[in-house]
Structure 1
Amino acid sequence: MFLHRMLVVEDHPDMHRFYDTLLRKVGRQVALEYYLAKSVPEARRILKRQLVDLIILDWMLPGVCGLDFVKEIRAEPTHKDILIIMVTAKCMAKDCAEALNNGADDFMSKPFNVDVFLARLRSLARRKERPWQAEAPIECGGVRLDPSRGQVMVAGKEVHMHPKEMLLLEVFLRRPRILHTPRDLWDRGWAYDSENWEHVLVTTISNLKKSLGPKRGGQLECRRGLGYVFKD
């Protein structure tokens, strides 16, 4: 069984060849199955016949842009657990926020560091190697999380969250009233280095607070310069 399957969506010929060469080398060292698409329609056809764990997606694509494709992927329940990393020449904080708010897990700025890219693959492989175990629901401060079912209840009503929001919520619920540093939260939720990690983390926590609603979201406090605390 492959540890991970990857789909790369990139229309530029040079980048296409770069990914193909790089992933062939990686495939000699780890169990990796990958697919290359030059457009969103081609990527759609691949996803119809093959489940993948990771999508490397260029922002600027012909016809349908990468950001719109992220929204499309997240609207499909069977694709909710796919890790999506956007690759873009855009590097502003607002671009990071736009990508994350629409369902991306992270993004890399062009030109990106190959070592950082490979670190993401190793992180994915480690997560796939972990054995699945049923976990009991956690409840704290009016918020209930069932990790095994991927279900969040706030004040008795189900709330749908991005997987990364749910992962951070689990950290907070398991250790309420404890100060969590930004770096600790990043390492628990992503487990790889990223040049954009602070933007990604801040945006994900902001989205988590919105998902929890005004009252419960207010229980998640930012201690400026220190970290975050969930008060029950």
Structure 2
Amino acid sequence: MAKPKILIVEDDRSLAEVLDYNLRQDGYETHVSSTGQDGLLQAKLRTPDLVVLDLMLPIMDGLEICRRLRADPATREMLVLMLTAKSEETDQVAGFSVGADDYVAKPFSVKVLQERVRALLRRRRGAATKGDVLVSQGIMVDRERHRVTLDQRLLDLTPSEFGLLETLIRQPGRVFSRSELIDAALGGDSLVLERTIDVHVRALRKKLDAHADLIETVRGVGYRFRDPVGAS
């Protein structure tokens, strides 16, 4: 079995070396980039499974890098674990709003980061093994190919948006709380805020366009996918 590939984009040389060493010890194939520009280039050339991305990079920050990764068909499905020295809620939400899959605030334990990497890769492997297709009201979710189509048009979803839509469409009519959606769609060990789900839902609704109202808000509880039969 091929080793999972991880790209580390971090301008702090000492931290990059620590991450590189420990992730290699965990059995991953790693590469380090010290600038955002080189990180984008290496992401295209090396097609890593996961990018460990520092937010506070010079010239081009992590938000812009993540935005460009998600905009490019060649890199949009890569997992992104964002690192930042900022721990405020607004910074976390900003990272998720451009498509980051998880978030670790500095200073952090390397062991914590290693576990976050394992959790993200486990989530991706789990999604790849279910291999079923869900269809409802013009939307088709193909778990095996990790594709979503809307009226036969391919949608460009981030991994987290994909997981959220798959969770909701699998049980139409069921109301999911935000914490349940974190567990089911983002992974039970994701260190994210409940408010982050709202960011993902807004982004997902925008991509669903005229079908946005299929994801219904249940005030004070959470969200549900409209049941085609007997929805209230």
Aligned partner of 2:230 in structure 1 is: none
Aligned partner of 1:76 in structure 2 is: 72
Gaps of 5+ in 1: none
The 1:88–1:227 alpha-carbon spacing in structure 2 relative to 1, beyond 3 Å, is same
Which structure ranks higher in relative contact order (CA pairs < 8 Å, sequence separation ≥ 6)?
Answer: 1
Aligned partner of 1:4 in structure 2 is: 4
Q: Which residue, 195, 220, 223 being the options, matches 1:228?
A: 223
Aligned partner of 2:148 in structure 1 is: 152
Distance 2:144 2:113 in 1: 29
Residue correspondence of structure 1 range 190-229 to structure 2 within 5 A: 190-213=186-209, 216-229=211-224
Distance 2:224 2:192 in 1: 22
> For structure 1, which segment, 41-50 or 182-191, has the greater mean C-alpha deviation from structure 2 after superposition?
41-50
Deviation at 1:55, TM superposition (A): 0.6
Residue correspondence of structure 1 range 104-183 to structure 2 within 5 A: 104-127=100-123, 129-130=125-126, 132=128, 135-154=131-150, 157-183=153-179
Q: Describe the superposition over 1:77-108 as per-residue Cα deviations: whole angstroms up to 9, x where unpaired.
A: 12121101211123333323332222222222
Q: Describe the superposition over 1:95-136 as per-residue Cα deviations: whole angstroms up to 9, x where unpaired.
A: 233322222222222223444322222223424655955845
Distance 2:178 2:18 in 1: 33
The 1:162–1:195 alpha-carbon spacing in structure 2 relative to 1, beyond 3 Å, is closer
What is the letter of the counterpart of residue 122 of structure 1? R
Q: Is the 8 A contact 2:55 2:63 kept in 1?
A: yes
Q: Give the paired residue count.
A: 227
Aligned partner of 1:36 in structure 2 is: 32
Distance 1:161 1:136 in 2: 18
**Once superposed, what is the RMSD of the aligned Cα atoms?**
2.7
> With structure 1 as the length reference, what TM-score do the two structures score?
0.82
Distance 1:62 1:89 in 2: 14
Deviation at 1:200, TM superposition (A): 2.8
The 1:171–1:42 alpha-carbon spacing in structure 2 relative to 1, beyond 3 Å, is same
> For structure 1, which segment, 102-111 or 14-23, has the greater mean C-alpha deviation from structure 2 after superposition?
14-23
Aligned partner of 2:22 in structure 1 is: 22
